[in-house]
Chains A and B, each alone.
Chain A
Amino acid sequence: MNRVVGFAAIAVLWAASASLLWAQPVDRSGQSQAASAETQAPVDLTGYWVSIVGSNGWLFRMVVPQRGQYAGIPINGRARAFADAWSAAADEAAHKQCEAYGAAAIMQIPERLHVSWQDPQTLQIQTDAGMQSRLLRFQPTQAQRMAAPSRQGNSVAQWMLYRPGGAGRDSGAPRYGWLQVITTHMLPGLLRKNGVPYSAQASMTESWQYISVPDGEQLLTLTTTLTDPVYLAAPYLFNSVFQKQRDDSGWMPSPCSLEELSQ
């Protein structure tokens, strides 16, 4: 009897050890090729989200900074020259308003997002401001990777998963992690509606961090790092915070515009 208990104890300890081995944090994408990005998602990002425009950058986001106001963006001389010579009226006349709603700028614009799964491997982000649509692809095809440049570019997404101690891959225990998105193949556009440019050589890395606040609120903190060898002297990093909505209240699709509230 004692021997049985002893071997049982050993078995339990080895099982526990194995689970501890399994519980080491992992920063990598899919555990299985068969699992879709939707089923692997550690959090449910779908639904409606609204921008929180806090004190940091309010003056540059809620009203259009006037010519010469480039604070906060590490532009180089070439970008400054471009912006100084840029004309909103000329862009409007040429129907190029949506240059200010490209992938590198769209998440900074005060707006609402509608997030949904277009298919199990593609997360769709729609904005009411400028009526744009971003596609975050978790397993893009070669053709999608090599597609022609577009306003929203090619975005390749990856869940950066972290499994808590003791949780096996199929344990059903809570999973954690964030979403990393790398966007390239963007058409040239504007970082601000006062003419600050980014080029077709720009690339962007975003991290989407979901946060559940104890009072029940759900937040999404986006950290974006934009590099551009043409117009930026250093990587441009900025944060955008979104708050989850219960429904589509306030969702108001509006076309691209360069004229709103210009200083």
Chain B
Amino acid sequence: MIPRTKLPAALLANSLGLALLLYAGRARAQVDLSGNWQPAEPPFAQLIATGPPPGDFLGIPLNREGRALAASANPDGTLEELGHQCQEWLTTFFGGGVFGVEIRPIGDRLNGAHIVAWHLSGVTDRPEQTIWIDGRSPPSSSALHTWGGFAIGHWEGNTLAVSISNISDGWMTHNFAPESDQATVDMFLSRQNNLLVVTYIIHDPIYLSAPFIRADTYRLSEASPSYGIGTVNDCLPAESLPGLNDRNRAAPAMLPANNPALNFMMNHYGIPSQIALGGAEQMYPDFQRQLGRLYRVPKGYCVQYCCFAQGAFRGDQCPAPAPATPPAGAAASAGGEGLPAGTRP
């Protein structure tokens, strides 16, 4: 029995314990992002796994410098160059690929229930990333830049709002839309039941004339992740381009005037290359009127990705489409064709 004089102290201790217990429970009760998250748009995931078509930068607000670099992209050889063979995709490439992302909480060293960060990992060539939610400040802009960058975040209801800085230069898309080391990213991870909606906004004062906005959705999966085969640290660069070891070695280059990738969108979709190279105005509906003056209905059709809806991965594996009467004023539909040269599997 507690003496009467000790009663307040006992109550105080009990109350303190209860409050601590509930506080710890609250820490655990923040939205749980942990798990294996797989792309929830399987057909599109297959499509984007091979990357957008060569020369397709539609909807990306590239400025003049960005368009110039995009026009010089060499889809056949860029990743084979010695300096790029072991390069990871940037953190801004979060949504690009058939592979998902694994998210795990990082607990405080002293109180494991108190989450101080979320750790994101994925396929081999995607950088691991830690999103710190413990209130720390971002590093100086002159501090180390990495492919994953430095990420801090805070909760806004069901959404983890993340700011990423200190990102190395690289590419924001699979077909080499450029991104500078001055780019920053606002990323929002919103959990909605078993879906994770990731909205991200890339700001790049060097190559973009407006923020690049995109959203992807993932579904919580109980299956074991299909990724994680080695790490980029296992990569050993090797000379693989013919001619590089020759006496008169030439640096791989693709000048815009000689870049065959720039013809792809015109030849297959009737989109002129000056349009296909992107621009801020393309993000808005009003661009349809401008496009109408430049657009030419392509002569041939079915092209790339025609058979994804059937589950086949390559056009040349697709059955020949049934003959169909073309709509008035439109070109006749042709059969499928394989993925274009230079498209990465």
Contact = CB atoms under 8 A, between A and B. Distances in A.
B302 to A, nearest CB: 5
A58 B8 contact: no
A16 B16 CA distance: 10
Interface in B159-217: 159, 163, 173, 186, 188, 190, 192-193, 195, 197, 199, 201, 203, 211-217
26 contacts: A6-B9, A17-B19, A20-B26, A53-B59, A55-B173, A55-B212, A55-B214, A57-B44, A58-B58, A59-B269, A63-B269, A66-B301, A75-B309, A80-B309, A85-B324, A164-B157, A176-B159, A180-B192, A209-B197, A221-B190, A221-B197, A223-B192, A239-B197, A250-B285, A261-B291, A262-B297
A178 B44 contact: no
Given A54-B283, A74-B42, A260-B292, A68 B301 contact: yes
B48 interface: yes
Contacts of A111: 285
A111 B287 CA distance: 11
A68 B321 contact: yes
B54 to A, nearest CB: 13
A21 B201 CA distance: 36
Nearest to B8: A6
Contacts of B199: 209, 211, 219, 221, 241
Given A55-B52, A213-B201, A219-B213, A89 B291 contact: no
A137 to B, nearest CB: 20
B327 interface: yes
Contacts of A160: 158, 192
Nearest to A110: B285
A234 interface: yes
A207 interface: yes
Contacts of B159: 176, 209, 211
A213 B26 CA distance: 26
Interface string A196-217: 0000000000010101111101
Interface string A166-186: 000000000111101000000
Given A24-B29, A209-B192, A209-B199, A63 B8 contact: no
B60 interface: yes
A3 B5 CA distance: 9
Given A52-B283, A217-B201, 18 more contacts: A20-B22, A25-B29, A53-B284, A55-B59, A178-B158, A178-B192, A207-B197, A209-B192, A209-B197, A211-B159, A211-B199, A213-B186, A219-B199, A234-B42, A237-B217, A239-B197, A243-B213, A261-B291
B251 interface: no
B270 A263 contact: yes
Contact of A162 (B59, B157, B301): B157
Contacts of B157: 42, 162, 164, 175-177
A84 B322 contact: yes
Interface in A1-51: 2-3, 6-7, 9-10, 13-14, 16-17, 20-21, 23-25, 27, 42, 50-51
Interface in A121-153: 129
A50 B285 contact: yes
Contacts of A66: 298, 301-302, 330-331, 333
Given A162-B157, A178-B192, A10 B309 contact: no
Given A53-B282, A72-B44, A262-B327, A214 B190 contact: no
Please provide the 8 A-B residue pairs with the shortest distance between their CB atoms, ordered closest to farther: A176-B157, A6-B8, A110-B285, A13-B15, A58-B59, A162-B157, A20-B22, A89-B328
Given A73-B309, A263-B297, A250 B288 contact: no
Contact of B295 (A9, A63, A89, A178): A63
B176 to A, nearest CB: 13
Which size bracket describes the interface of B in this complex? 35 or more
B286 interface: yes
A26 to B, nearest CB: 10
Contacts of A129: 285
Specify which of A70, A207, A221 lies most central, judged by the most chain B CB atoms within 10 Å of its CB. Answer: A221
B240 to A, nearest CB: 29
B41 A237 contact: yes
A72 B333 contact: no
Contacts of A114: none
Contacts of A55: 52, 56-60, 173, 212, 214
Nearest to A211: B188
Contacts of B283: 52-54
A17 B190 contact: no
B253 interface: no
Specify which of A51, A58, A175 lies most central, judged by the most chain B CB atoms within 10 Å of its CB. Answer: A58
B308 A71 contact: yes
Contact of A263 (B15, B173, B186, B301): B301
A52 B213 contact: yes
A69 B43 CA distance: 13
Contact of A112 (B41, B285, B291, B321): B285
B329 interface: yes
A117 interface: no
B58 A68 contact: no
A88 B324 CA distance: 13
B214 A263 contact: no
Specify which of B19, B157, B322 lies most central, judged by the most chain A CB atoms within 10 Å of its CB. Answer: B157
